[in-house]
Amino acid sequence: MPASFNVHNGLVDITLIWPNVESARAQEIVFGCALYRWRLGEGPTTEVDGDMVQVPFENLTTQQKLDLAYHSAQKLIVAEAKASLVQTDIDVARAAALAYADTNYELPE
């Protein structure tokens, strides 16, 4: 199963697995995601001459790149959950408005 929820003490671990994806290809995709987030300024920072600057991408560890991709996945999942909630509310409002219009906006024959 490529995705699973493991609940323990009221908390959940979510595991996502890409089956049948070659290691090099998976790494290329994940690191591409990390680079995108890094370009948005989300990478780890370090102090240089009293200023906080982003660590150059080529100096990031594999774990730091994975962390960037992980945070990106979290943001995507939360954003799509929010969009779904908003869409549900829009659908309810649209149905109510249509019902109102059908009973209140008729022309005499």
Report the pLDDT value the prediction gives residue 40, as an integer from 0 to 100.
Answer: 97
Instruction: Tell me, yes or no, whether 26 lies in a domain.
Output: yes
- Sign of the Cα torsion 86, 67, 49, 39 reads negative
Q: Work out whether strand 3-8 and strand 11-16 pair parallel, antiparallel, or are unpaired.
A: antiparallel
Instruction: Tell me, yes or no, whether 30 lies in a domain.
Output: yes
Instruction: Tell me, yes or no, whether 109 lies in a domain.
Output: no
22-77 confidence digits (pLDDT tens): 999 999 999 999 999 999 999 999 999 999 999 999 999 999 999 999 999 999 99
pTM of model > 0.85: no
Gap between the Cα atoms of 74 and 80, Å rounded = 10
Report the pLDDT value the prediction gives residue 85, as an integer from 0 to 100.
Answer: 96
Query: Quick check: helix, strand or coil at residue 36?
Result: helix
Residue 1 has pLDDT above 70, yes or no: no
Give the domain extent around 94: 3-104
Residue 107 has pLDDT above 90, yes or no: no
22: phi then psi, degrees, rounded to nearest 5? -65, 145
Q: In total, how many domains does the chain have? A: 1
